[in-house]
Structure 1
Amino acid sequence: MKLLTQHQAHKAMDGDGVNIRRVADFSKLGLDPFLMIDEIKSDDKSDFIGGFPPHPHRGIETFTYILKGGFEHKDQLGNVNSIHAGDVQWMSTGSGVVHSEMPLADSNDGLHGFQIWLNMPAKDKMRPARYQDSGELVLPEFTEAGVHFKVLAGSWHFGEQTLISPLSELAGSAKIADITFKANAEVALNLGADNNDNQFVGVYVYRGALQQSSLTSREPNQQHVEFPAGQLLVVDSQTPLQLQAGGDGAGLLLLTGQAINETVVHMGPFVMNTQAEIRQAVEDYQMGRFGQINE
């Protein structure tokens, strides 16, 4: 595996005082089609109890994955649903969504999850909103040689296994998988036909660490280095993907997608292609054209 860039998640605050760790790129587009990865991880209720009260979006998709605790989602389209540990949720906001995400009562024991933003191509930014969650559906998974694969979005080929998530229409043909490793376990992955020079491949480490030897060619006498939790590693899509956990094991999100290669103009919850479109989004929201959540 060839490491291209390395991004450290930074502390941030969003919603009603929710503490998060964030990796974001709205300008250089080094993560295209992804825009942002937010991780919420705390056993202290005060870090997340405020949740995310009603707020708008236009021009993006949000993908939420919960490892511990949960959220209740509500939107102006009438969708009301709770997502718990192991669940995923996809919202393609298109021309506009107003939604809220509030922690569930059983999050008293802590909350750990992710919200990932994806850019939408210009041709789709004003289409009607779409919503889907895993609900009663089964997300495919399997374990082999100390490595556990769980497919969250898209279709994946792991060795002889082909696993397809019920959520497979993300912008940029994006795919997301959760891979966990026992101590020192390793795996080699072939991304197959998706492995091209316009393909983004990223590895977000959320638990434990990956060993340096699995990511870069080693020089003689090179000091041993690990990539710990909170790192997003962007790797070359043309190089075979080899991953090895450190001595405490590892948990990571593997993300791939086709670069959209379009201008991004970002302001708060809106991501469009021009400043005029941003101004229109703000006006539409202020004039109530997005609708509102029925409590």
Structure 2
Amino acid sequence: MNTMISTVKAVQEIIAARASSDGDGVKLLRVFGGTGDPARFDPFLMMDEFGSYDASDYIGGFPPHPHRGFETITYMLEGHMEHQDHMGNVGDLRNGDVQWMTAGAGIIHSEMPKQTEGRMRGFQVWLNLPSHSKMQPPAYRDIASASIPVADLSGIRAKLIAGSADLDGQPLDGLVSRPDTDPVYLDLVLSDNTRTHTLKVPAGHTALVYVYEGAAALGDAGTQVKRGQVARLDRDGDTITITPQNADTRLVVLAGKPLQEPIVQYGPFVMNTRQEIEQALNDYQRGELAKAF
């Protein structure tokens, strides 16, 4: 009889989100990505948090721009933004909604605010595609907040955007599943700072915990992670332990299966070789990147 022994993932690195801007001057926090060795986040490429009460920080939005070779996941906590792309898709993102876009061989899209006052806040994650899927036809999915599963457990509320995991002994299934990278995307609200929660994900997978409100202690060492910091965990082990340090701690957990392929990025294009990047630039300049499929 084989007995499976759970091992807790240790924190390997803590990264402070840094102020940045993108699109037409939209102010945001670059949570991770863009510097250092991208393989340590594999299969994730980047995460941004955008959020402001000041319309001048976001009103410029993200005018039409191209992508190739990966997926983007936009999760709107608060606000109203509209997606349009060359395939004719129009997405109306409001509080709690998710936009899941597979750029594949090429997509040209815009993400523009539909509000001129009030708070806009949310996240965008870039998720890599394996080499055999980078040139697949582009796809888009608009996901209403009401359709995303939510689990209310003792001291914790989990919004299950993607993947499967086990939270405090309760199996959870998110709304979206993806091949190859098997991503997990959870939004957790923790209300009891006397309780430690356990989240099980497959051993060998990358795991990232971003605290966007409050603070949390992670792992057997109780490593402190504060608001605006992301913890990258060891791929060894299958259990994430989280102890909130405040009565209203909120965090995003990302986990996924590393692709272990070369990552070559140039702006909005992420491929496996420099030659493929040059081809993407050439296709875009010739107006052939966003072909009709």
TM-score (normalizing by structure 1): 0.89
Look up the SS of the partner of 2:275 in the other structure: helix
Report the alpha carbon displacement of residue 195 of structure 1 after superposing the two structures with TM: 2.1
Give the distance between the partners of 2:280 and 2:69, measured in 1 at CA: 9
Report the alpha carbon displacement of residue 165 of structure 1 after superposing the two structures with TM: 2.8
Stretches of structure 2 that go unaligned for 5 or more consecutive residues are: 1-7
CA contact (8 A) 2:198 2:241 kept: yes
| Equivalence for 2:61 | 51
Q: Deviations over 1:63-98 (max 9, x none)?
A: 010111021000011110111111111111110000
| Equivalence for 1:71 | 81
Aligned amino acid, residue 202 of structure 1: L
Give the distance between the partners of 2:23 and 2:180, measured in 1 at CA: 24
| Equivalence for 2:231 | 233
Report the alpha carbon displacement of residue 13 of structure 1 after superposing the two structures with TM: 0.7
From 94, 112, 119, give the equivalent of 2:104: 94
| Equivalence for 2:4 | none
| Equivalence for 1:18 | 26
Stretches of structure 1 that go unaligned for 5 or more consecutive residues are: 219-224
| Equivalence for 1:217 | 221
| Runs of 4 or more above 4 Å deviation | none
Aligned amino acid, residue 281 of structure 1: A
| Equivalence for 1:280 | 279
Give the distance between the partners of 2:203 and 2:48, measured in 1 at CA: 27
How many residues align structurally?
281
CA contact (8 A) 1:18 1:50 kept: yes
Report the alpha carbon displacement of residue 170 of structure 1 after superposing the two structures with TM: 6.2
Q: Deviations over 1:216-247 (max 9, x none)?
A: 426xxxxxx74211111012340532111113
| Equivalence for 2:252 | 253
| Equivalence for 1:222 | none
Cα 1:196–1:215 shift into 2, 3 Å: closer
Judge which range, 51-60 or 140-149, deviates more: 140-149
From 164, 172, 181, give the equivalent of 1:155: 164
Cα 1:28–1:268 shift into 2, 3 Å: closer
Q: Deviations over 1:143-202 (max 9, x none)?
A: 2222111101122332453333332126511110000112515343242xx4222x1011
Give the distance between the partners of 2:182 and 2:59, measured in 1 at CA: 33
RMSD: 2.1
Look up the SS of the partner of 1:29 in the other structure: helix
Give the distance between the partners of 2:180 and 2:63, measured in 1 at CA: 25
| Equivalence for 2:140 | 131
| Equivalence for 2:151 | 142
From 207, 210, 214, give the equivalent of 2:213: 207
